[in-house]
Structure 1
């Protein structure tokens, strides 16, 4: 007999053992007079965890947390060189800025020193400025949030598509999300979140269009990030958020995931499904632009 729980209420002990036996788990209980406690036991060790879960539910407690299969698979993947270098460089830039070790670093890495155009890029050929805002982070929670997602999402793509693919992905999505954010808010922004949303969008769509993909994101992660996107967009939080960078990153990632998902899939594909998700992805920056303009109009009227 394997004990799995103890309680003082005889009626509850009886109810739980009856429920376990009803579900085919051989169970009983005994009373310890000295301790005034009832001990519940199962006959088979294989039923131990299931009995504990049933006990917790019947006592009004949550089940023991168990990581999803997808999460466990993701954690088993080693980080590739591009993922490591990206995270390391972001942390280095953050430390240098936070402790003012290189005071001029921010002005060198921001997309432009002017809100009226991109004079450094156009006249001086400083093309790196299109990408480098992605490596700027302004507080600890900002960089922590982005690097945690970069670690998990980046290594999946690097594992499946190799380092060169991820490096090119970061460059394209980073430039696209940075430039779109600049057009909306000017040059004072930064962060890897546009790229993070791109990684999310890619993996989300890649699995939808290629069922043979080795890894898939837990649905809870997708829902969390999409929910966060809309909470930020409608202005629930008081701090500044690069919503257009999020939207454009997600769009570019989704389009990439659709393309490569269809390319790598072995079977036939649904044209209707493809067009639906392409439309959905393209609508995100349009929706974001409309909401951002609406918020500006509201602000000018107050």
Structure 2
């Protein structure tokens, strides 16, 4: 996220935020001391945001006129408004994977359970060898889920972590992190437990590790995560290695996903540091 405007006047910030939202510019407000800062969520909107702010500063609207205008405008349907909010929280890769998981759940639970699982697990059931002629199997177990709780839990964290990653680094980086963490976490889980496993959690832990590294000691970074969230996720991973939990947990997928995400985070952080160093020289 990038700061695009700052003010001590909450009404001014509220008006400008509303104007930017109406223009389709994704922004949020952060409080820093006595100041309120408008933060741009997606960098691609920066030029549009700057032009709107320039016009706002040149011709600031009257507060009472602005409120009257807001009240007089017809209310939009709830659906499009909700869609805009969701679109501001994620990108195309986040949406595609989210929908793919839901479609897979529909196929797996209601339409063709046996065929869906057979086609998407790491190797066909009962076959111990890797199916190099079917490369999709290295990734597709992330689409499978074996309970509603498992599905909802993973989709929530995918949306939260995947969406933030895509907004901060772009669809390409999210796709690369997803594919790499999926392949390595699936492989090691297969080595440990055999082919009958599934879930996005290996990728989710990969995204967690990625976020931990790229946002380390950067509290304003868009992937900076609350400490309680990190404690919960790491605690859940560790509990998986005990007999306390009442569900089967893909421990190797979680652990290897986290490690691979941390490694990718270091690569991206090093790349960003090199870019910053080069830009300072010039």
1:182 aligns with 2:193: no
| Cα distance in 2 between the residues matched to 1:249 and 1:99 | 30
| Cα distance in 2 between the residues matched to 1:166 and 1:187 | 26
1:85 aligns with 2:96: yes
Return the offset for 1:238: 3.0
Asked if the contact 2:165/2:174 (under 8 Å) is kept, the reply is yes
Return the offset for 1:212: 6.8
Asked if the contact 2:177/2:264 (under 8 Å) is kept, the reply is no
Asked if the contact 2:121/2:141 (under 8 Å) is kept, the reply is yes
Return the offset for 1:164: 1.5
Matches within 5 A, 1:195-234: 195-208=203-216, 213-234=221-242
Segment of structure 1 superposing worse, 233-242 or 202-211: 202-211
* SS of match in other structure, 1:247: helix
Asked if the contact 2:139/2:183 (under 8 Å) is kept, the reply is yes
Structure 2 length as normaliser, TM-score?
A: 0.64
| Cα distance in 2 between the residues matched to 1:102 and 1:142 | 17
Return the offset for 1:259: 2.0
Return the offset for 1:245: 0.2
2:4 alignment partner in structure 1: none
- Residue-by-residue CA offset, 1:37-71 (whole Å, 9 max, x unaligned): xxxxxxxxxxxxxxxxxxxxxxxxxxxxxxx98xx
| Cα distance in 2 between the residues matched to 1:228 and 1:102 | 29
* SS of match in other structure, 1:79: coil
Matches within 5 A, 1:1-302: 77-101=88-112, 103-114=114-125, 117-119=128-130, 121-122=131-132, 125-208=133-216, 213-265=221-273, 266=276
* SS of match in other structure, 1:87: helix
* SS of match in other structure, 2:111: coil
Return the offset for 1:157: 0.9
Asked if the contact 2:216/2:224 (under 8 Å) is kept, the reply is no
Task: Tell me the matched-pair count.
Answer: 196
- Residue-by-residue CA offset, 1:6-28 (whole Å, 9 max, x unaligned): xxxxxxxxxxxxxxxxxxxxxxx
- What are structure 2's unaligned runs of at least 5 residues? 1-29, 32-38, 42-84, 278-282
- Return closer, same or farther for 1:178/1:170 CA change in 2, 3 Å cut-off: same
Return the offset for 1:116: 5.7
- What are structure 1's unaligned runs of at least 5 residues? 1-67, 268-302
Q: Displaced runs of 4+ in structure 1, greater than 4 A?
A: 73-77, 209-212
| Cα distance in 2 between the residues matched to 1:215 and 1:100 | 38
Cα root mean square deviation, aligned: 2.6
| Cα distance in 2 between the residues matched to 1:155 and 1:242 | 23
* SS of match in other structure, 2:215: helix
1:285 alignment partner in structure 2: none
Structure 1 length as normaliser, TM-score?
A: 0.60
Asked if the contact 1:135/1:190 (under 8 Å) is kept, the reply is yes
